[in-house]
Structure 1
């Protein structure tokens, strides 16, 4: 893989200072191998490596491993569980994407969202395929936008949680494609409806994790770095459209709150 890929913009242009020369190799992390994303196949997560086998500083997975190690040296351990929000869309005769058929009956957490041809079959296949890959859902339910669903992944150690998130997304989008649907993670597919996010539940699972001096310091560190974190997590203009005030989407403020859906960090 070309080294320039880590500094390439969405329009395939390079940021200043990079050249098209040089390559990394991908090293399979066999501990992450799972069946899927469809029957007869398996998938595995990889890390970037130099050709001499050394780690690459900019590899996201390697960086996460090092961060976990640093936290452990401070006596901190974590559990993380992701929510996969996703919108299923069908293709119109003109080739554009639109909410899948009958999605106007869509209601948050209501069985009405299962009405219509093929929805329950697809969702059941998603559940079964995830289970065969060793991914046990905590729950799944219709969300608020047309054709939008949420799949709640189990609490896991951080590295396994992120691997599971990526593999679950691949399974969900592949099953949807096999049912002639497009599964999109676009943050704001509809202007006047709730957007799509990837919320994460984080627990400090080390013995003193419920000590206010520990978790309040964690909150403070998170909020201090939140503006920089957003540079990586809000990667599209639609990401900022999603967090407009009044949509229960985290809002515009660097803030935390107790059960407050208008803050980025919710206790």
Structure 2
């Protein structure tokens, strides 16, 4: 059967795009890559280019595939899915300053160089199946899992074949909603896995005649689809470096300072981690989705949550300790979101910030004075407010090349203009069809 090999990159609006060729030409393309255009980074989710992008019609780039990211999957009812994730480079092969994947590499290198920490990450995805003719079933139930059969086992098998190390598949709280997780990996591999997982879920759902949507909301009053980014650290010798049982929440001193940096810069981070107008229908209090910039211990209303450690024989707390950033969704580019978190944490380490107080109840139920004492501040409630915080945070601006920051703002302003007149229902429908 004929097939195509596709070199892929994921842009500012988390759309994975690329160019394909016949397998017989693979060796040459692995060496020289294929052509790409700077203004492709200025595409909105609706395939209109932001007019005030930094490049216009000028410039040429290359998609340079990473051989370690090869995926080839059969059994999807069409031709095999054969892909490579790519870095965007100049014509001479040097990294392009606006390449999200290369930015994540720079963040990882900076954290190890300056703090001696190597990040380990995992992306936890929620999505909904649209178009399936299923009878109702209780949330989290075996009935909800079995009525989708063989989707669950088929998905886990495909993820395993693709090298993603799938960990768990479960029916979630929302209507026809599922969650899927993969084992932790190095930061770059984790972000690659996030992109691959979304791609494979959509392929398999389409094969069943359904549509899988990772949109933050598919209905205004429905349960949101989040992406939780789990983080832990190892030192340069590969030993766990996240846990200290003598400290609050069990976080090591370095992990606590890292968490402080994330909390301090969280309002600006939302422009990269919750970067669509629809994201803010999800980020509201009482929805376990993170509406306040604070650190919590096993508190699902905290935007940064220290995850529980099983207290069972044979469990090594140092190996399983981690925290998760919850104010993320699938309209975010995984490379940019994770790079931003790493840079934010590194700022906390550079400044020697103290670990934030633990907020272990819903901040919206506190008084203003209580929230102020704990440093639990309401996060931006709209994309324009997040973009304003993004532009105002000098540290965040220093992490990104100015041209990338300018492009992001231009794209998001264009995106906002294209949906300005939509009702919440229309907004959900529009994004559910894309994400």
What count of residue pairs does the alignment treat as equivalent? Answer: 254
Residue 193 of structure 2 corresponds to residue 156 of structure 1: no
With the length of structure 2 as denominator, give the TM-score of the two structures.
0.56
Q: Deviations over 1:99-133 (max 9, x none)?
A: x322532412x1120354xx211222111111111
CA deviations 1:41-67 (Å, max 9, x no partner) are 322100101111111111011111111
TM-score for the superposition, normalised by structure 1: 0.89
Partner SS for 1:201: strand
Q: Alignment partner for residue 230 of structure 1, among 252, 270, 284?
A: 270
Query: 1:106 and 1:19 mapped to 2: Cα distance?
Result: 51
Give the aligned partner of residue 160 of structure 2: 131
Tell me what 2:122 maps to.
81
How far apart, in 2, do the equivalents of 1:151 and 1:115 lie?
Answer: 15
Other-structure match for 2:39 = 4
Give the 5 Å matches for 1:175-194: 175-194=204-223
* 1:102 maps to which of 134, 149, 152: 134
The within-5 A match list for 1:1-267 is 1-10=36-45, 11-15=48-52, 17-36=54-73, 38=76, 40-73=80-113, 74-90=115-131, 100-102=132-134, 104-108=136-140, 110-116=141-147, 119-206=148-235, 207=239, 208-211=241-244, 212-251=252-291, 253-267=292-306
Q: 1 CA distance for matches of 2:81 and 2:274?
A: 32
SS of match in other structure, 2:102:
helix
Verify the 8 A CA contact 1:8 1:15 in the aligned structure 2: no
Q: Assess, with a 3 A threshold, how the Cα gap between structure 1 residues 103 and 221 changes in structure 2: closer, same or farther.
A: farther
Q: 1:17: how far off? A: 4.2
- For 1:103 and 1:67, the matched residues in 2 are separated by 46
CA RMSD of aligned residues (A): 1.8
Are the aligned partners of 1:81 and 1:161 in contact in 2 as well (CA < 8 Å)?
Answer: yes
The unaligned stretches of length 5 or more in structure 1 are 91-99
Q: Secondary structure at the match of 1:105?
A: coil
Residue 255 of structure 1: how far off its partner (Å) = 1.1
Looking at structure 1, the residues matched to 54 and 38 of structure 2 have their Cα atoms a distance apart, in angstroms, of 12
Deviation for aligned residue 1:245:
0.8
SS at match of 2:166: coil
SS in 2 for 1:264: strand
CA deviations 1:40-93 (Å, max 9, x no partner) are 332210010111111111101111111111111120012111112110101xxx
**Alpha-carbon distance in 2 for matches of 1:84, 1:216:** 25
- Give the direction of change, closer, same or farther, for the CA distance of 1:194–1:245 in structure 2 (3 Å limit): same
Uncovered stretches (5+) of structure 2, i.e. residues with no partner:
1-35, 245-251, 307-435
Does the 8 Å CA contact 1:186/1:196 hold for their aligned counterparts? yes
Deviation by residue 1:212-264 (Cα, 9 ceiling, x = unmatched): 3211110111112212221012122211101111111112x211111111111
| Structure holding more helix per residue | 2
